[in-house]
């Protein structure tokens, strides 16, 4: 069936990936080379979850993810190290303020602090690590606004925001903190607000719940100019072929493709190969935890294999 209702999406993507890996092995070439071209040498910037809340860490921030992205890193190795340094710096800042916390299900710190405080801590951490390492590090958020939406308002811990107020709030945060990346700032059916925000700010406005890696929803977003980036989750759509179609459509219309892990993950590293094969500029795959680091380590190995590795070209934000 079209939505894999008989076998399930996880089974479909497992078979699809297994076939691709078998084909690559039979030719004795890496998966990224089999899926891409002999000239694929562009490496993605890692987008890492540093402070987590929302559905991933109950009692923490209302915004689901505060994400680090080292847009000035000269290599994948430097970029991975930078995100780890930001993660460590955030812990240091929290500890210095007497805030102790565990981690959410993606390895991000889950302190019981306000969203505003999290913004301030991320700004300080990225700026300090950027100064220490000598290249630019920015940050962004995954609002996961569908989780806050009650049908009329966006319900935060201490305030309810109407759709208009949500638009004003997100715009203000982008401008105040120079956010590079904002994912799902509105609920999954609000294409119009996505379009309005995209036209008024300089940032990557990414749809996850908005598009669900679905070609028809991506096409609708393109028509309405909703967002300028698409989150790509292969197991959400079901096969590598369908994943390629979604990426091809998005890239054809100038959208940035961000390939992503899931909150519940394994140590499979296929998305690292997909990012290189299809020259995707950003990979969202966490900072710490074995199932996250597996993807990052694979990117470092690929970087070492390439003759002329280079970091991807990012949209200016």
- Among candidate residues 65, 89, 91, 106, the one labeled active-site is 106
Tokens coding 157: 């811990």
Active site residue 120: no
The tally of CA atoms less than 13 A away on the side-chain side of residue 271 is 33
CA distances from 252 to 28, 128, 256, 282, 311 (A): 31, 37, 10, 17, 21
Tokens coding 25: 């092995």
- Among candidate residues 233, 291, 298, 303, the one labeled active-site is 233
For residue 109, the cross-strand partners are: 51, 103
User: Phi/psi of residue 160, each to 5°?
Assistant: -105, 135
What gap in Å lies between CA 52 and CA 67, rounded to an integer? Answer: 9
What gap in Å lies between CA 272 and CA 70, rounded to an integer? Answer: 17
Q: In 10 A of CB 12, how many CB atoms?
A: 20
Tell me which residues are annotated as active site. Answer: 106, 233
């Amino acid at each position: 069936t079209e939505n894999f209702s008989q076998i399930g999406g996880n089974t479909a993507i497992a078979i699809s990936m297994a076939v691709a890996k078998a084909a690559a092995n039979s030719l004795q070439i890496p998966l990224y080379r089999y899926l891409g071209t002999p000239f694929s040498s562009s490496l993605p910037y890692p987008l890492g979850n540093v402070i987590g809340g929302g559905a991933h860490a109950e009692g923490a921030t209302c915004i689901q993810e505060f994400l680090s992205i080292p847009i000035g890193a000269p290599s994948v190795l430097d970029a991975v190290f930078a995100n780890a340094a930001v993660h460590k710096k955030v812990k240091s800042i929290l500890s210095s303020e007497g805030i102790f916390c565990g981690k959410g299900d993606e390895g991000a710190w889950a302190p019981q602090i306000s969203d505003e405080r999290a913004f301030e801590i991320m700004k300080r951490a990225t700026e300090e690590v950027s100064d220490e390492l000598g290249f630019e590090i920015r940050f962004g958020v995954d609002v996961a606004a569908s989780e806050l939406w009650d049908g009329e308002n966006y319900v935060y811990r201490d305030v309810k925001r109407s759709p208009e107020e949500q638009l004003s709030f997100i715009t203000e945060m982008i401008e105040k903190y120079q956010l590079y990346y904002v994912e799902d700032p509105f609920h999954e059916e609000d294409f119009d607000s996505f379009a309005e925000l995209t036209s008024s700010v300089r940032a990557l406005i990414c749809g996850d719940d908005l598009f669900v890696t679905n070609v028809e929803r991506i096409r609708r977003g393109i028509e309405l100019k909703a967002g300028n980036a698409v989150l790509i989750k292969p197991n959400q759509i079901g096969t590598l072929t369908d994943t390629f179609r979604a990426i091809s459509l998005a890239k054809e219309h100038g959208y940035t493709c961000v390939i992503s892990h899931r909150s519940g993950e394994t140590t499979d590293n296929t998305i690292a190969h997909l990012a290189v094969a299809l020259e995707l500029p950003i990979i969202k795959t966490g900072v710490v935890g074995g199932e996250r680091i597996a993807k990052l380590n694979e990117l470092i190995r690929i970087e070492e294999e390439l003759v002329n590795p280079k970091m991807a070209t990012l949209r200016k934000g």
